[in-house]
Amino acid sequence: MIRISNLSKRFAGFQAVSDVSIEVPKGAFLVLVGPSGCGKSTMLRMLAGLETPSAGTIAFDGKLVSDGARSWTIEPARRNAGLVFQSYALWPHMTVGGNVEWPLKVAGMGRAERRARIGEVLGLLGIDKLAERYPNEISGGQQQRVAIARMIAPKPGILLFDEPLSNLDAKLRVEMRTELLRIHRATGATSVYVTHDQVEAMTMASHVAVMNGGRVEQFGSPDELVAHPQSAFVATFVGTPPANLVPANAIPAGHPLSGQGEGGAFMFRPEELFVDEAAGPRTIVLDYAEASPVAGRTMITGVSKDMRLTAVVDRAPTLRVGQSVHFRIPDRPAALFSREGALVR
């Protein structure tokens, strides 16, 4: 449904997106995830037609909609795509029903058909009783539902979401994740969702593109990214909690991995680490930082100037912040990354 080929975007000497190529099948839920400034929102704006690529192409359902080589792009209204902004961007002088009706008017839909479609989408979002209210008379969560209703009313083939949950409280964010997936399935559209929250990414996506420095570090399913990270960045960005990286030069002298790795870093999953009561020939000693319950077990985190390790254990030691915590390292790593962060094995 969406084909992105060698896509780049430069702003006054700053490379926001660099040579991105991915293909998204029809009906997929793609999440663009990464830290602030990684290029994910710029990617979404190019998909929406709000930015023209500096290089590369975008095609929707086999039809070219942007071509950087020609500095050409189809305007947003003609791309068969809907967009929900982080700020919702509702018109304050229009009622809820009026906000949803507006794009239908622009599309030339008749009055009776508009009324029927407004009732349909407001019912789908569970806000049909709010049709006569104004945006300042409803809650943030309700405003977000209105913005989504307005987006899906014209039945676009592609739904674009720019961090739509970031203004909601934690409980409502969890509820709305489920709601967005229900809407995605009900519409049958292909969705692209931008977030910096990897928990959102891994729980909602059928496909994930992990972005860093304007590039896609890895593209695949959530399970693929967790099980087989292709770079050190992906390994430490995805997963709850993410994987641990131990520099080769930090491996204790008595450990079987000592002297291996050639300046790279070994990956160990949190459930593979152990927490011992005292230092040993295979332990790394760090400062205890925190303990958090997770699914009936405890997540223990230790830090130093150059390292942060997390272990998921059955029984947590009784420690105070700043005391020493001893992480025992397994004999076999889950992966090895080079000094530059590339997967070695």
| Residue range 23-77, pLDDT digits in tens | 999 999 999 999 999 999 999 999 999 999 999 999 999 999 999 999 999 999 8
Q: State residue 83 phi and psi, 5-degree precision.
A: -135, 130
123 Cβ partners below 8 Å, 6+ apart? none
Q: Is the dihedral of CA 143, 147, 152, 157 positive or negative?
A: negative
- The pLDDT value given to residue 105: 92
What confidence score (pLDDT) does residue 246 get? 96
Q: Is the per-residue pLDDT at 85 higher than 90?
A: no
The CATH number assigned to the domain with range 241-337 reads 2.40.50.140
Residue 205 pLDDT exceeds 90 = yes
Alpha-carbon distances of 212 from 16, 29, 40, 216, rounded to whole Å:
10, 20, 9, 6
Cα(309)–Cα(144) distance, rounded to whole angstroms? Answer: 38
What CATH superfamily classification does 2-236 receive?
Answer: P-loop containing nucleotide triphosphate hydrolases (3.40.50.300)
Which amino acid makes up residue 166?
Answer: S
Q: Where are the domains of the chain?
A: 2-236, 241-337
Q: Which band of pLDDT confidence, cut at 50, 70 and 90, is reported for residue 86?
A: confident
Query: Using the 8-state DSSP alphabet, how is residue 228 labeled?
Result: S
pTM of the complete model: 0.89
Can you read off the two tokens belonging to residue 280? Answer: 């040993």
pLDDT of res. 214: 96
Judge whether residue 269 has pLDDT over 90: yes
Q: 72-79 contacts: CB < 8 A, separation 24 or more?
A: 73/46, 73/49, 74/49, 75/49, 76/48, 76/49, 76/50, 77/106, 79/48, 79/49, 79/158
Band (pLDDT 50/70/90 cuts) for residue 2 is: very high
Q: Are 295 and 303 in contact (CB under 8 A)?
A: no
Confidence band (pLDDT; 50, 70, 90) for 295? confident
Q: Please state, in angstroms and rounded to a whole number, the distance separating the CA atoms of residues 297 and 291.
A: 10
pLDDT digits over 298-329, tens only? 999 999 988 999 999 998 888 889 899 999 99
Nearest to 241, CA basis, from 306, 180, 292, 190:
292
Q: 49's torsion region: left (phi>0), alpha (psi -120 to 50) or beta?
A: left
pLDDT digits over 111-168, tens only?
999 999 999 999 988 899 999 999 999 998 899 899 999 999 999 999 999 988 887 7
Q: How many CB atoms lie within 10 A of CB 85?
A: 15
